[in-house]
Amino acid sequence: MKLGPFPIWPELAAREAAGVDLVTLLVLAICSFFALGVLCFMVFFLVRYRQGSPADRSDPPTTNHKLEISWILLPTLLSLGIFWAGAREYARLYQLPETTDLALDVVGKQWMWIVHYPNGFKEINRLHVPLGQRVSLRMISEDVIHSFYVPDFRVKHDVLPGRYTYLWFEPTQVGQFHLFCAEFCGTSHAAMGGWVEVMKPEDFRRWQEGPQPGDPAQRGKLLFQQYGCQGCHQQGQLAAPRLENLLGSPVTLESGRTVVADEDYIRRSIVNPNADIVAGFQALMPGYEGRLNEEQILDLTAYVRTMGKTP
């Protein structure tokens, strides 16, 4: 919701969101009552009893047990009411329902989210989910604590190393919604985010059943993202050589040799990267021998060929 240039309320894009907002509004109402009450009394007293005003000041009371007891009891009772409302909603948010329509596995690592679908699809920093269906997440971290947070769904849960945590939601609005990492996790914490894309169920089915993209370069791009290659091979990153316009250009190696980066060089650099270290870089990249099949390497090479060329 926006008011002029000011956004004032996040989208209500999941079924739980309304419940949470309702509790928020309840707390807001109670808090406003007290805040405004204190403010009104303060302003009233400040005006009426300012120094030199003609108000009656005889015998100012210094203690009143009835008053004290009542302003101890009233807030206590009200806050217990809030506690109860919040606790009920919390139990609903954090207890997985008996059945869910889509169960995803989420792995957090510095600094990306990897999402596994039941049908074997894998996505990075993006979740495709169907509208109006219950989605459950089983989450774990590979390194430090992260926190899976979708503000428009009002859901958040820390993602711990060494132990699964769970979260569920039921999207009620088609569109793209921010996914954030909410627990500080290191240098690129702010970049560890992405989108949750809510699709109509039929669109989701099409997306899920449809073939993986037919273009080899497209498939290669997906692999590139899945394996986190862009973590190092990306603009602004200093850890690994740039890949833009690489194919066909000469490369100086650490050994002083110069080779032309042909397709065989690309393949060699994927399966056994330490064989040809580029001058000025360190042997950081793991070898992918046995982890990628030849088809996938072909797809990756096709993608590398397109890099740096405007489509």
Partner 1 sequence: MSYLTGPPSLRAWLFTRDHKRIAWLYLITISVFFAIGGLAATLMRIELATPAGDLVQADIYNRLFTLHGTVMVWLFLIPAIPNTLGNFLLPMMIGARDVAFPRLNLLSWYVFSAGGLLVLWSLLAGGVDTGWTFYTPYSSTYTNSHVILMAAGIFVTGFSSIFTGLNFMVTIHKMRAPGMTWFRMPLFCWSMYATSLIMVLATPVLACTLVLIAAERLFGVGIFDPALGGDPLLFQHLFWFYSHPAVYIMILPGMGVISEIVPCFAGRPIFGYSYVAVCSMAIAILGFLVWGHHMFVSGQSIYAGLIFSFLSFLVSVPSGVKVFNWTASLYKASIRLETPMLYALGFVGLFTIGGLTGLFLATLAVDVHLHDTYFVVAHFHFIMVGGMLMAYLGGLHFWWPKMTGRLYNESLGKVSALLIFLGFNLTFMPQFLLGYLGMPRRYHSYPPEFQIYNVLSSAGATFLAVGYLLPLVYLTWSLFRGQRAEENPWGAHSGLEWATASPPPTHNFREPPRLEGQEWGAAPLLSSVRL
Q: Which of residues 40-69 bind partner 1 (CB under 8 A)?
A: 41-42, 45-46, 49-52, 55-64, 67-68
Q: How far is the CB of 197 from partner 1 (least distance, A)?
A: 16
Residue written as token pair 């109509």: 200
The answer to whether residues 166 and 137 touch, using CB atoms and an 8 Å cutoff, is yes
Q: How far is the CB of 101 from partner 1 (least distance, A)?
A: 22
- Judged by CB under 8 A, the residue of 12, 23, 271, 307 near partner 1 is 23
The answer to whether residues 195 and 268 touch, using CB atoms and an 8 Å cutoff, is no
- Judged by CB under 8 A, the residue of 18, 143, 249, 258 near partner 1 is 143
The Cα 89–Cα 91 span in angstroms is: 5
- Judged by CB under 8 A, the residue of 12, 105, 136, 152 near partner 1 is 152
Residue type, 5: P
Q: Which range touches partner 1 (CB under 8 A), out of 100-108, 174-182, 249-257, 298-306?
A: 174-182
By CB under 8 A, tell whether 71 contacts partner 1: yes
By CB under 8 A, tell whether 189 contacts partner 1: yes
By CB under 8 A, tell whether 90 contacts partner 1: yes
Q: How far is the CB of 100 from partner 1 (least distance, A)?
A: 19
List the beta bridge partners of residue 251. Answer: 259
Burial (Cβ within 10 Å: 0-12, 13-18, ≥19) of residue 106: buried
Neighbours of 301 (CB within 10 A): 20
By CB under 8 A, tell whether 277 contacts partner 1: no
By CB under 8 A, tell whether 97 contacts partner 1: no
Number of residues that bind partner 1 (CB under 8 A): 88
- Judged by CB under 8 A, the residue of 6, 54, 309, 311 near partner 1 is 6
List the beta bridge partners of residue 260. Answer: 250
DSSP 55: -
Q: Quote the radius of gyration of the chain (alpha carbons, Å).
A: 29
By CB under 8 A, tell whether 231 contacts partner 1: no
Which of 131, 139, 100, 143 lies closest to 196 in space, CA to CA? Answer: 131
By CB under 8 A, tell whether 10 contacts partner 1: yes
By CB under 8 A, tell whether 175 contacts partner 1: no
- Alpha carbon of residue 26 to chain centroid: 27
Q: How many residues make up the chain in this entry?
A: 311
Q: Which range touches partner 1 (CB under 8 A), out of 80-88, 122-130, 213-221, 272-280?
A: 80-88
